[in-house]
Every structure is written in structure tokens, then in C-alpha cells.
Amino acid sequence: MTGALSVLVLLGALGAFDTLYYHEWKLRLPANPAARGELRLHAWRDFAYTIVFGSLAWITWNGGWLLPLAAILLLEIWVTLTDFIEEDRTRRLPPGERVMHALMGIVYGVFLTLLYPHAARWAKLDSGFSLTNHGNLSWILTVFAAGVFVSGVRDLAASRRLAR
């Protein structure tokens, strides 16, 4: 699980850079009325990552509980693909941001590939959650969960403000 969580930390770091540099500083999306739909999608994704980061840091999703985790991971894919369409519809992406999104997609695929063997093992267990601790990775992912939650609240609030 260390490999999967290490890749998840990398994904979180890339996402934080994308959000802080491109969305907040360079493009100022929360102040752009055309970005309202994009910000709403970002909020959905942020809340999904809050669950992924926060839960995988400390628990395993066993048996039937693996289905909600799989649904959250699939939701992230749907939101990302929808976000690509929304971005192309509403703004021109800087080349670096486009590259960043491609890299994050690749890293997400690596994460899912590394997570799969663990999830397959969890699926065979009785339904429930098991506590786990991955040392520093657990704490880093917990910090990421808090950060992405705050980002999601900000994006949702900005989206609602821009709708008025």
C-alpha cells in the first residue's frame, strides 16, 4: 500500500500546485464569472479527494464497503473528463496547465493500478472498515484531505457567488 499512497501523495502535490499556481494565482478563477461551472466541478472533485485522502490514510474499505470507494474513484474520473470539456468551452488553458492536467491523469492511473491489488484483497474481507497506519504517509494525506476540503468549500462558495 506504500506505493499506492506515495503516488497519491504525488498526485496531491501536483493538484495543490495546479490549484494554487494556475487556478488561484495566474488565472484567478474564483473571480471569473465564466469559471462558475468549472469551480463547481472542482468542488465536487475536492470533496471526493477529501474522502480518498482522509480515508485511505487510516482505514481499509472492506467487503461491500469497497463499492462506495469505487464509486468515489469513478466519480473523480467523470468530474475530470467533464472539467476538461468545461475548460475548453469557457477558456483557453495555458500550455503548462494542459500539461499539468495530463500528468495528473497519468499519475491517477498509476495510483489506481497500484491500489487495485489491495482493493481486490479488501473485497474478500467481511464488510466494514479496518484501521491502518502508514506512518508519515497517513499524516501527509490527512493534511492533504484538510487542504482539499478547504479548497472545495472555497470553490463552491465562489461558484455560488458568481452565479448571483
State in Å, rounded, how far the first CA of the chain is from the last one: 45
The per-residue pLDDT for 27 is 87
Residue 12's nearest CA partner among 117, 149, 134 is 149
CA-CA distance, 75 to 73, in Å (whole number)?
5
In this structure, are residues 4 and 112 in contact, taking their beta carbons and an 8 Å threshold? no
pLDDT digits (tens, 9 = 90+) for 116-159: 999 999 999 999 999 999 999 999 999 999 999 999 999 999 99
Percent of the chain residues past pLDDT 70, beyond the cut: 100
pLDDT digits (tens, 9 = 90+) for 2-36: 999 999 999 999 999 999 999 999 989 899 898 99
Q: Estimate to the nearest angstrom the gap between the alpha carbon of 23 and the chain centroid.
A: 15
Contact status, residue 69 vs residue 119, Cβ threshold 8 Å: yes
Q: Are 92 and 28 in contact (CB under 8 A)?
A: no
pLDDT at 60: 98
Is the distance from CB of 22 to CB of 100 less than 8 angstroms? yes
Neighbour count for residue 70 (Cβ, 10 Å) = 13
- At position 66, the amino acid (one-letter code) is L
Count CB-CB contacts under 10 A for residue 113: 12
